Copies of this chain bind each other. A is one copy, B any other.
Amino acid sequence: MSLASLGRAGGISDAERRDAADPLRHLRARFHLPEGTIYLAGNSLGPAPVAAFADMETALRREWAEGLVRSWNDAGWFALVGFLGDRLGRLVGAGPGQTVVCDSVSVNVYKALHAALALRPDRNVIVAEGGSFPTDLYVAEGVAATRPDIELKLEGVDAEKIEDLIDERTAVVLVNHVDYKTGELRDMAALNRLIHARGAIAVWDLCHSAGVVPVDLDGGGADLAIGCTYKYLNCGPGAPAFIYAASRHHEALSQPLSGWWGHAAPFAFERGYRPAGGIQRLLCGTQPILSMRVVDAGLAAIEDVEMAALRAKSLALTDLFMDLVEPVCRLHGASIVTPRAHAARGSQVSITFEHGFAVVQALIARGVVGDFRAPDMMRFGFAPAYLGYADVQAAAEAFNEVMTSGIWRDERFTKRRAVT
């Protein structure tokens, strides 16, 4: 049975009817999706927005090759950090002037942790999640290395629940909005209330929620946040990340990556550092403009629809997938670890299975692209902007077929190689 026919067994399927009625169906044409692929790895690297091709042509040939150095002003290159930051901010509930697009997530975590520590000079504990995406923890270690007084306490190591680690010594709580492995979603507003009640600063990692889960940074009382743009925001491989700081903190904001782009007058070439007034002081050096130019197309592909509509479809897609694969999982000893409750999950479905690596390889061979995280986690990301119900049904049927047939035992699929 071919992949294309999977969702169509027995004439027009229910999934196809839902696609036909989907108010977001038009978004799919804004993305380039390879023939014969159902792409469920958009939680790792989002697909290319079609507009990126023409935009890059303009950036390369008109702005760089023809405009040369004057494009820093004339093409608005220098202003991109804030121009794109404000637009991205709207997708995560941030009013203007609080978000900049720049650097990598790891570099921004470093800035955010230092900024938070500087806001709480009388405290010396960083609280984070033991199950965090590791770079957050590695960077927290790096921050602690520059400040020998700092202590790092981890959920899952020093206490079962993060709430139990937050006390009067806690300067900052670094927490993922959606867990990269399980897909679990935190209640941002509730945790912020607790963090603030105990006098600490919250730094939110939005890598797995920005662009697909409603985020209300301002309304939810967030202090600082960072996130990436290459997952559900579809801005290109390694595209510049973002950093947010609530305006109430701007006056006291400081961070040690005090490069010239964060200076109050970067082109005055003054000898001493004088931080810019607002969110700009979280900038450091010159940004990679060609990668930055694609952020425009990534944001444009989803910013004209309501996040609530994206969320509703995301939940419907993940519900459908879980409904379809759960019986087969149960039969073969695989477990869906992503919470079923809507309020408790993002936009991915994670399934643990001892032979998950091989199952993912067998699915990829069938055109269903998910990914695998050691030791046993299969991850399937469902991006409502370019996936439909028939895609989900076809993916689920492929999954069930691979599990049921045991084809994953073939050595084509069990043989490991370096994975990213």
Which residues on A are within 8 Å of B, measured CB to CB? 32, 34, 37, 39, 41, 44-45, 47-48, 52-53, 56, 60-61, 63-66, 68-73, 77-78, 103-107, 109-110, 114, 130, 133-135, 137-139, 141-143, 145-147, 154, 157, 228, 230, 236-241, 254-263, 267-273, 284-292, 294, 369, 371, 373-374, 417-420
Known: A56-B60, A133-B269, A146-B256. 8 other contacts (CB 8 A): A41-B68, A73-B418, A104-B259, A106-B286, A142-B256, A142-B259, A269-B374, A288-B290
7 A–B contacts from the bound complex (CB under 8 Å): A37-B68, A53-B61, A110-B256, A110-B259, A138-B258, A230-B286, A237-B289
Question: Are B237 and A77 in contact, with the CB atoms below 8 A?
Answer: yes
Question: Are A45 and B32 in contact, with the CB atoms below 8 A?
Answer: no
Chain B nearest CB from A408 CB (Å) reads 18
Cα of A271 to Cα of B291 in the assembled complex, Å = 30
Chain B nearest CB from A121 CB (Å) reads 12
Question: Are A103 and B105 in contact, with the CB atoms below 8 A?
Answer: no
Cα of A126 to Cα of B135 in the assembled complex, Å = 29
Query: Which of A39, A104, A373, A420 has the largest count of B CB atoms less than 10 A from its CB?
Result: A104
Question: Are B291 and A288 in contact, with the CB atoms below 8 A?
Answer: yes
- Which residues of the other chain, B, contact A135 by a CB distance below 8 angstroms? 259-260, 285
- Which residues of the other chain, B, contact A146 by a CB distance below 8 angstroms? 114, 146-147, 256
Question: Are B103 and A239 in contact, with the CB atoms below 8 A?
Answer: no
Question: Are A271 and B145 in contact, with the CB atoms below 8 A?
Answer: no
Question: Are B420 and A104 in contact, with the CB atoms below 8 A?
Answer: no
Cα of A39 to Cα of B65 in the assembled complex, Å = 11
Chain B nearest CB from A230 CB (Å) reads 8
Cα of A53 to Cα of B62 in the assembled complex, Å = 12
Chain B nearest CB from A165 CB (Å) reads 16
Question: Are A139 and B237 in contact, with the CB atoms below 8 A?
Answer: no
- Which residues of the other chain, B, contact A290 by a CB distance below 8 angstroms? 56, 236-239, 288, 290-291, 294
Closest to A137 in B: B271
- Which residues of the other chain, B, contact A73 by a CB distance below 8 angstroms? 417-420
Cα of A255 to Cα of B241 in the assembled complex, Å = 21
Which of B47, B72, B139, B374 sits near A257, CB closer than 8 Å? B139
The 4 A-B residue pairs with the shortest CB-CB distance, nearest first, are A104-B285, A106-B259, A106-B285, A288-B291
Question: Are B114 and A107 in contact, with the CB atoms below 8 A?
Answer: no
Question: Are A257 and B142 in contact, with the CB atoms below 8 A?
Answer: yes
Chain B nearest CB from A363 CB (Å) reads 13
Question: Are A267 and B34 in contact, with the CB atoms below 8 A?
Answer: no
Which of B68, B133, B263 sits near A47, CB closer than 8 Å? B68
Chain B nearest CB from A266 CB (Å) reads 8
- Which residues of the other chain, B, contact A106 by a CB distance below 8 angstroms? 257, 259-261, 284-286
Known: A146-B114, A270-B134. A369 touches B288 (CB 8 A): no
Known: A238-B289, A256-B110, A291-B289. A32 touches B369 (CB 8 A): no
Question: Are A271 and B130 in contact, with the CB atoms below 8 A?
Answer: yes
Cα of A270 to Cα of B133 in the assembled complex, Å = 9
Closest to A419 in B: B267
Chain B nearest CB from A177 CB (Å) reads 18
Which of B34, B109, B241 sits near A65, CB closer than 8 Å? B34
Question: Are B45 and A69 in contact, with the CB atoms below 8 A?
Answer: yes
Which of B34, B284, B373 sits near A66, CB closer than 8 Å? B34
